[in-house]
Structure 1
């Protein structure tokens, strides 16, 4: 959509209380590597300046749309449309069906109708993501079950609101996926304005990164120097847990006009959304020169999350001359750890089944997924789990009684098992590092999905390989130290009187 096509939307925004100086901020198409369409500064901005403001009433959420009241709040809740995303998606489909009769008609007309995210890839493209955690996190089957079991019955129950002849056009499963993708890529978590004065100060200090469901879902950072708060969350899983009742001071998943036009890129954030009781404010977090792009933030996500949510990857210069995403990660599942332990330690008499130890581990709050990143350090939790598996029956009973998992000391058992686990994890990809590097040499001729998938899996493999190199070096040093200790204990060794030092880990 060109700037001229944005004119009706910008007019709608300003006539409904939105405040933006179009002589200071413009919108243009940047190269794909810079995010495509985005916002540009037309003058110099200093840190702390307000770029534009949005009235809370202009945000689109399940609270601001009138659909739930027209449908009937009691029935809306009985059908669990107040849980997760399903209610907001239905509101967005209904508002879109109203065209320009909807308050948000001009805004909805600006939102994308096609996406490059794996949710819309075919099976052959999805195979390119084999070995990564992307596919299992798409939630496509869960979304379709949600649509068929919750949303579609609600639609069919109210033909006065959702005419049958409009279902295939405005309320189809494809439209459900499109609206869900719009939320995933563009929504914000906006805290409700009903915080009392006594609670506001405490909130200001505590709102920050929101590791909900994590995976890598993160909130927009908050500038505690400002009396307003801002939050963004890019993944809002459906949660029908009856215990997760809405709290008075919780957030609403909201579509925020204008704010969602800003692009984001790793380490580039120069603007952030803040809010007060009646208004959302996009403010600069650093100086922006005229001609520079205005960048929002989504938490410096790894490429596996960028491709899942937004359909693109970040490639920046890295040490050693490579290009990649400094925020890349790779996940190690706990069941892989247990599986490799079972294969390699069949002779270890631990006195109790692995299942019992894992159940206890999880009950004690232990992780079931471990994350490696570009610092190539091993999470302490995975070492603790490995040592738990190796405990003798007596040691296990002691740990269980004290509700205290083993300390994350990388002993020889844990080190050897860790190397086996990472090697196995690396083998789960269908291609090698060298093969992926060769594929990317033809970057200009590669189909977009294949290129993105190769970048994602290669970034993960680099992390695994580098971590393995570090661990292998550690093991070699340990083995050398062990041999030296053995040599010094030999009576005929001329150096037997000299002491040797243990290698430190």
Structure 2
């Protein structure tokens, strides 16, 4: 399948800059602020997956510096022109997201005619055309992404954004009318900037000895945010005291695009946070989630009496106490590994163990540190106890019921180039998310001794066909 665009970009500047050539204006600004671009790279619209990107003018070897961004050129709550005010009001600007100071910095700089970052803004995407699902109509979002976890994540985002804007951001802007003109006092614009920060900002990692501290606030990194993302990236951003350095991690041939990584992101995370996906099977970091409460529901379906249901609930509360499960948590299954192997193994063990064994477990306040089940992997699922496999299988079947269509239907659609090309861009992206998740779930189903696909099959029902997917 051909590689499809990863991000849509447009050339119209946002908040300033009327240069006929935004790239020339940006490169001139880079020279002024000391942002050093290697002569081996170029900012270009040619040779990129979509819009602006960065390509190699000459072949590049691993370890070579592609560009360096001095910390003074970063746009953050500490470098913007109202940094002093934001620092003085830090207590009033605290929020669960931790993003409010940066968002206020962007709101101010976007409408400031003399903002030093105006040439940088000229390469931003047009805010009104961002493709995050938060901007899709609710009905379309639910219809296309049902079962993927994205609609639920977006609804939480929208509620939090509105609350944050109404309780913190708008009162702050109204208290400083000389710094924020009326055109930026808009919930719609705030939504757009949240999406932009979600997609384009960076967060400096904490040092090992600082792991217990609050995460570092997000910041905007000119040049670095031009790079698109793929799982098989060829560059990586490194942090140092004086600057941020983009360094090649693989050989990059002349004319090839330079790709950064946003982290190990599943397709549902990419569409949610960045507004694009990698087509199957390109995203080697793709995952499928089984909600923890779904495993509880599957286990409850196997109970016969009220006493058995009470006993199972007692086991669930015990797992909650151990912090192995939670009402909003998920077991994460990758293509080649179970990313939450310890939690899943503990859950299957506790929910399936004999009553006497569970009483002993509670009496000794947990089990010994050395447990074979800690190493639960994709490959050892067929060797699990039959009761564990049955519970896992029923949990997968319940998870598959959340989707509106089955795997076979979507596989046929993906295999029909004409039909696929007739889908809208959003329909294509959503299909890739659903399909990648279902492939993982059906593989897991097969490993438990089940088969597929039968849409809306209840746990325990007979399945009537073999696993219908390929990696081709």
Could you tell me the TM-score, scaled by structure 2's length? 0.79
CA distance in 2, matches of 1:339, 1:385: 13
CA distance in 2, matches of 1:191, 1:332: 28
Which stretches of structure 1, 4 residues or longer, exceed 6 Å deviation after superposition?
none
Change (3 A) 1:271 1:450: same
Secondary structure of 1:293 counterpart: coil
Task: Write the deviation string for residues 178-231 of structure 1: whole angstroms up to 9, x where unpaired.
Answer: 111111111112369xxxxxxxxxx4xx599x9xxxxxxxxxxxxxxxxxxxxx
Secondary structure of 2:449 counterpart: helix
Aligned pairs (5 A) from 1:462-501: 462-472=439-449
CA distance in 2, matches of 1:64, 1:358: 48
Q: Contact 2:231–2:282 (CA<8 Å) still a contact in 1? A: no
Query: Does 2:284 correspond to 1:326?
Result: yes
Query: Does 2:317 correspond to 1:359?
Result: yes
- Say which of 76, 79, 94 aligns to 2:108: 94
Change (3 A) 1:93 1:45: same
Change (3 A) 1:407 1:300: closer
1:76, distance to aligned residue in structure 2 (A):
3.1
Task: Write the deviation string for residues 57-110 of structure 1: whole angstroms up to 9, x where unpaired.
Answer: 110111222324235x343313426961122111111111113x1121221232
- Say which of 267, 275, 280 aligns to 1:311: 275
Aligned pairs (5 A) from 1:99-498: 99=113, 101-112=114-125, 113=127, 114-126=129-141, 127-138=143-154, 139-163=157-181, 166=182, 169-190=183-204, 203=207, 206=208, 246=214, 251-267=216-232, 269-315=233-279, 323=281, 325-347=283-305, 353-367=311-325, 368-375=329-336, 379-404=341-366, 408=373, 410-440=384-414, 441=416, 442-472=419-449
CA distance in 1, matches of 2:314, 2:254: 62
User: For residue 483 of structure 1, what is the aligned residue in structure 2?
Assistant: none
CA distance in 1, matches of 2:322, 2:432: 37
CA distance in 2, matches of 1:146, 1:346: 46
Q: Contact 2:393–2:450 (CA<8 Å) still a contact in 1? A: no
- Say which of 33, 44, 54 aligns to 2:69: 54
CA RMSD in angstroms, aligned pairs only? 2.8
Q: Contact 1:352–1:393 (CA<8 Å) still a contact in 2? A: no
Rg larger in structure: 1
Could you tell me the TM-score, scaled by structure 1's length? 0.74
Change (3 A) 1:81 1:332: closer
1:473, distance to aligned residue in structure 2 (A):
6.2
1:343, distance to aligned residue in structure 2 (A):
1.7
CA distance in 2, matches of 1:26, 1:190: 25
CA distance in 2, matches of 1:411, 1:35: 49
Q: Contact 2:324–2:346 (CA<8 Å) still a contact in 1? A: no
CA distance in 2, matches of 1:116, 1:156: 30
Task: Write the deviation string for residues 273-328 of structure 1: whole angstroms up to 9, x where unpaired.
Answer: 12322111112222222211111112242211111122222125xxxxxx453322
1:376, distance to aligned residue in structure 2 (A):
6.9
Q: Contact 1:376–1:466 (CA<8 Å) still a contact in 2? A: no
Q: Contact 1:351–1:393 (CA<8 Å) still a contact in 2? A: no
- Say which of 24, 27, 32 aligns to 1:7: 24
Secondary structure of 1:251 counterpart: coil
CA distance in 2, matches of 1:84, 1:360: 33
1:422, distance to aligned residue in structure 2 (A):
0.9
Secondary structure of 2:190 counterpart: helix
Number of residue pairs the alignment of both structures matches: 410
Q: Contact 1:270–1:288 (CA<8 Å) still a contact in 2? A: yes
Secondary structure of 2:21 counterpart: helix
1:375, distance to aligned residue in structure 2 (A):
2.5
Instruction: Give 5+ residue unaligned stretches, structure 1.
Output: 193-202, 211-243, 317-322, 475-505
